Amino acid sequence: MNFSLKQAKERCKQAQDILMHKNVTSFSNHNGPLLKISGTYAGVWLEHAYDPLLFAQLFPEQQSIAVSQVMYFFENQTPDGQLPALLRDPADPNNAGKPLVSYRHIQECVSFAGICYKTYQCTNDTQFLKNAYARLCAWDNWLCQNRMTQKTGLIELFCEYDTGHDNALRLKGIPHNAKDMYGKAYDESVEILPLLAPDMNAVFYGDRKALAKMAKALHLPEEAAAWEKKALDVKSRMLSLLYNKEDNFFYDRDKNGNWRKFKTIQIANVFQEQVLDQDMFDSIYTQYFKSDKHFDTPIPFPAASISDPVWIQNAPGNSWNFYAQTLVALRTSLWMEHYGKTQDYEDLLKKWLCAYTASPLPFGQEFHPITGAPSDSSPYYSSAMLLFIYAMRRLGYISPDA
């Protein structure tokens, strides 16, 4: 894993300059700075809500961006509590003909409540916390009212984009978006819908754990205890309905209770939201993430186990069926050290540094997990640049003041 430190430092400076001067932007319908994903994705997605928080953690003088981005989603929350999946600038000509606000899928790929709570920890703004808590209680209620049609206590997947896993064969045949404009109906002609998905329900669990922390910080002990109980209920139901003991893996289940046995990176959400106790995590991690037959690839981690039949390069770019995704690598900061995998985490960061430094596509979205070749998807991706800067600091190649 040798690489040119001089070149890496030059790329790090380039990443910081692009982030500060191009990807930090403002939209005509919002009063405050925002961090857009890239030139390819000229908007802000709920899927990427972790990016501005990490940006603020790396550059404390940019805390206003983390707050502003959270508030932009709250400003567009529906009266009945639904958060938008994506927001675009009406004044940007690149957005002509595209939906400026979309509610047709969920795509909350990291607990938004967790992000809000960590944003509060950065700012100590109690008024922000009160507002976020009320908004997120409404979001939980929306999910319970509209995404629990089977009354299992777990929320349901209605469409491919609910997960953010574009082009994943795990979801083949499922429409991109929900049937209606507000994500409340699924296409009943699709026999497997609705699905119970472990990645979505891990985030649902994470939201409730974060709401418990928020309630505690607001001196609402009874509400904090209630949220803790609700979170544990989600965990119990996930273990009962989505964990396959024989395979030691979490899978989707269709509306008839049938397993959909695809070993994909959906499992990372279960790690990321810290659903599992240490022993269970260790067992799954050792079996699958320390095995070169599954997720232990030269660029970790592939979007599916390389032994799974669905591990096929079915798209030239933006395929959550094949590539090692920047977003997965970025979110390892939420779980690897928590579960005691510090050395593995630092090894992962070094591998991604090497890949970015060698890549002819600057700060792209994904890499071939075996060869390290980049896909053609989205140069100057905010998540990639943030991961690169963080890794350079974490591994001691630059100082935080560089």
* Contact partners, residue 88, CB within 8 Å, separation at least 6: 27, 42, 43, 95, 98, 99, 100, 101
Q: What would the pLDDT profile of 319-337 be if each residue is shown by its tens digit?
A: 999 999 999 999 999 999 9
- pLDDT classification of 402: cutoffs 50, 70, 90: low
Residue whose pair of structure tokens reads 């990291």 in the numeric block = 110
User: CB under 8 Å, gap of 24 or more: what pairs does 70-79 form?
Assistant: 70/115, 70/116, 70/119, 70/132, 71/32, 72/27, 72/30, 72/32, 72/34, 72/44, 73/46, 73/49, 73/112, 74/131, 74/132, 74/135, 75/30, 76/101, 77/135, 77/138, 77/139, 78/103, 78/142, 78/182
Complete domains list, the chain, with CATH: 5-394 (1.50.10.10)
pLDDT computed for residue 94 by the predictor: 83
CA–CA distance, 285 with 295 (Å, rounded to integer): 9
**pTM (predicted TM-score):** 0.97
Q: Residue 95's pLDDT is what?
A: 86
pLDDT classification of 93: cutoffs 50, 70, 90: confident
pLDDT in tens, 123-149: 999 999 999 999 999 999 999 999 999
